[in-house]
Chains A and B, each alone.
Chain A
Amino acid sequence: MNHSEKYEAAFVSALGISKDDLPGLQYQGVAAWDSIGHMQLIFALEEAFGIMLDTSDIIDLSSFEKGKELLRKYDVEL
């Protein structure tokens, strides 16, 4: 899997949603992306890319698109 596929897979597995739901997806935009879902998502992203996100970035991760931007700080290009 390339980075983009890993990124999508993390959202799909952590939030239990379909790939079709990803474009434009926002925090709390679906029931599964609540505060607990957010922690699951963070864990999934950290596992997928072998990183540990800073708290400020966890708070900033407010959408599917924003996450891509944040991961660049960890040398993950999508």
Chain B
Amino acid sequence: MDLLKGKIALVTGASRGIGNAIAELFAQNGASVYANARKIGSLDSLLAKCENSSGRIMPLYFDVTDAAAAKQAVMRIKKESGRLDCLVNNAGIMPDALIGMIDQKVAREVFEVNVFAVMELIQLAARVMVRQKSGSIINLASIVGVNGNKGQLVYSASKGAVIAMTKTAAKELAPAGIRVNAIAPGMIDTDLFRSVGAEKVSGLLRNIGLGRLGKPSEIANAALFLASDMASYVTGQILGADGAALV
């Protein structure tokens, strides 16, 4: 399948987990993928995995909270490729804390990464997409941004903001032919999720209707749909991908 043949995409947080799976699947589907990560060299394995794909991976190392660096990155894409068809705002952090234990400094960091960086990249990408009168922006939200979750006040608030931004940006950018959607994953088998501990993970499995964690590739499939022309009339939607999880 080459659902993204000839398309230019930017995927943030692509060194591991969901972002990694999205970048890989996009390249397998013919896209030229600018894959972002902070740590230089952290995209080497992704590059190796995609060596024989019909698309390609181009590493873009920058911190999404660095507005100047984000601007340079989009400028580079514009110069090299002349367009940007898809932006996937995936980079995010998830430090959990019960209400009484929330550190304001950490809370601000969460919003810098999960909200303000997303806002900045939407603005930058929209400037390129408006010119071409097309584009797809996909934001990674979360089931907890919809339902909330104990111990995740800050994270759920940040993802709730992502959902609201998605709906508003979709309305504002629709006249320019730009679609904006979000994916709200449930419990996905990533390093980030596993970091809560094996015992907690097995307890959480009981809350998932499908009886198992989701795979990063299953979220990537949802992103592929939203990025492709298959979703040409889909905008402003929050696509749950949670295996009927109860949170």
Contacts and interface: CB of A to CB of B under 8 A. Distances in A.
Interface of A is mostly: helix
A1 interface: no
Nearest to A14: B131
B130 A39 contact: yes
Contacts, number: 27
Interface of B: 67, 71-72, 74-75, 78, 120, 123, 126-128, 130-131, 172-173, 175-176
A43 interface: yes
Given A39-B126, A39-B131, A43-B130, 10 more contacts: A36-B173, A36-B175, A39-B130, A39-B176, A40-B131, A42-B127, A43-B127, A43-B131, A44-B131, A46-B78
A40 B131 CA distance: 6
Contacts of A42: 127
A36 B130 contact: yes
Interface in A16-57: 35-36, 39-40, 42-44, 46, 52, 55
A13 to B, nearest CB: 10
Interface of A: 35-36, 39-40, 42-44, 46, 52, 55
B71 A52 contact: yes
27 contacts: A35-B172, A36-B130, A36-B173, A36-B175, A36-B176, A39-B126, A39-B127, A39-B130, A39-B131, A39-B176, A40-B130, A40-B131, A42-B127, A43-B127, A43-B128, A43-B130, A43-B131, A44-B131, A46-B78, A46-B127, A52-B71, A52-B72, A52-B74, A52-B75, A55-B67, A55-B120, A55-B123
